[in-house]
Structure 1
Amino acid sequence: MTQNKPSTELGLIHQVRVPQQEPPAAGYPAIVAIHGRGSNAGDLIELAPYFGADWLTITPQAPLELGFGYHWYEVLQVGDPEPQGFGRSIELLREFIGKLPEAYQVDPQRIFLMGFSQGAVMSFALGLTEPERYAGIVAMSGYIARQTQREANREQLANLPILITHGTRDAVIPVSFGREAREWLGDTPAQLAYHEYPMGHQVSDASLNDVVHWLHQHKHTGSDRSAS
């Protein structure tokens, strides 16, 4: 069942889909699905049924309302988020995610970041700077902000599972940005999977199938990768 939650609980308005079964002893594996520019918390929650019955899926809503929908930051140009708003949203998401284990019986070792467009940029910003907190990253049609590249904790990326999906016909964030992210991550010890599709700025059936397969493959991965 999907529930709407006000911002007073965790700091951000959000929707959550909680598994019907009781959580494992360590807690539910969780997907934090972060929406794109001009969208809202109700967007990516629609993907939750595809992930499987044992995942907890939670979709935070961005704090900025700029003309249409909600935004995580203002776009100066593709690749360079406005620094102040970008930084504030990163901190809000960090605090939000930090409260999930207690609020929703989430396994703190199995929190996966997923984002589309701006949400992918935010997922990279969180996961590449504090990789020890996350079990993996799914970045759909996004890019690694230059600020994130400067601040990334490269040494701690060892064995961090990352999936990038991007459309070759993307006119919003061209596929060159996905390829740049692939090249940048190729110089790190991250465990990278990269896929392109003949699509625009979207999630297609084919890309979603790859995401679901990847999640199933890595569901038992923990953020403590010291033994890997």
Structure 2
Amino acid sequence: MHSKKIITAGKKTTEAKKALIMIHGRGGSAEDILTLSNYLEVRDYALIAPQATGGTWYPYSFLMPPAQNEPWLSSALAVLKEITADVIADGISRENIYFLGFSQGACLTLEFVTRNADTYGGVVAFTGGLIGDKIYPENYTGNFGNTPVFIGTSNPDPHVPVERVRASEKILKEMGAEIKVNVYNNMGHTISQDEINLANELVFRK
């Protein structure tokens, strides 16, 4: 199970007006995902990156029935909930909290914010979709209040089918997100410069 092990960069949460919670992918690390901040317009943000136990947030594909990824999935979601509460307790309002994830971290990011929809600063998912063998609308509550959301993905991608990305887009849109999805032909399982540019333009410059 996951413990709240985090690495921070940028400003302290007690001094910053905005915070970005960055979620690494399977086999990645908090240190890895933090290096992305060098390419994002987040210089004045508090940067917070939790570390998954054993480098993975849940053991199987995000397309498996959620019960098969338990108790790890619930533990990962609980870590994000606790970090969000800590950021708010330090004086940063919910509408100034941003989320970003890559791959497994993007799936976890989307799952967390959609289960806890609210007006956030913004959400960036580099290759991800909502978690489960199918979409479970009953898990998702709240309203995004026009929170800007950007999802970028490859077609094809070895882990994340475009169909799941589009189904996730539909749910978030119905819940009030101002969402933009870009699908890149044969990009591979990576993050492109165009995705970085769009994340800055659509989310971090808002």
1:45 CA drift (Å)? 0.4
Task: Verify: 1:18 aligned to 2:10, yes or no.
Answer: yes
Task: Verify: 1:118 aligned to 2:104, yes or no.
Answer: yes
Of 127, 132, 138, 2:113 maps to 127
| Residue number in structure 2 paired with 1:163 | 150
| Residue number in structure 1 paired with 2:177 | 190
Aligned-partner Cα distance in 2 for 1:172–1:184: 20
Distance 1:202 1:149, change over 3 A: farther
Q: Indicate conservation of the 8 Å contact 2:94/2:121, yes or no.
A: no
Which one-letter code corresponds to 2:129 in the other structure? Answer: Y
| Residue number in structure 2 paired with 1:4 | none
Distance 1:51 1:107, change over 3 A: farther
SS at match of 2:75: helix
Of 78, 82, 85, 1:91 maps to 78
Q: Which has the larger radius of gyration?
A: 1
1:151 CA drift (Å)? 0.9
Of 8, 27, 49, 1:38 maps to 27
Aligned-partner Cα distance in 2 for 1:111–1:174: 28
Which one-letter code corresponds to 1:47 in the other structure? Answer: L
Which one-letter code corresponds to 1:210 in the other structure? Answer: L
Aligned-partner Cα distance in 1 for 2:161–2:115: 24
Structure 1 residues 22-66: Cα deviation after superposition (integer angstroms, max 9, x where no partner): 94xxx4211101011111111110111222321222111113x2x
1:174 CA drift (Å)? 2.5
Aligned-partner Cα distance in 1 for 2:38–2:92: 18
Gaps of 5+ in 2: none
1:144 CA drift (Å)? 0.6
Decide which structure has greater strand share.
1
Task: Verify: 1:109 aligned to 2:99, yes or no.
Answer: no
TM-score normalised over the length of structure 2: 0.83
| Farther-moved stretch of structure 1 (78-87 vs 53-62) | 78-87
Q: Indicate conservation of the 8 Å contact 1:30/1:107, yes or no.
A: no
Count of aligned positions? 198
Which one-letter code corresponds to 2:103 in the other structure? Answer: S
Gaps of 5+ in 1: 1-6, 219-228
| Residue number in structure 2 paired with 1:55 | 45
| Residue number in structure 2 paired with 1:172 | 159
1:94 CA drift (Å)? 0.8
Q: Indicate conservation of the 8 Å contact 1:120/1:139, yes or no.
A: yes
Structure number with greater CO (CA < 8 Å, separation at least 6) is 2
Aligned-partner Cα distance in 2 for 1:160–1:102: 21
1:152 CA drift (Å)? 0.5
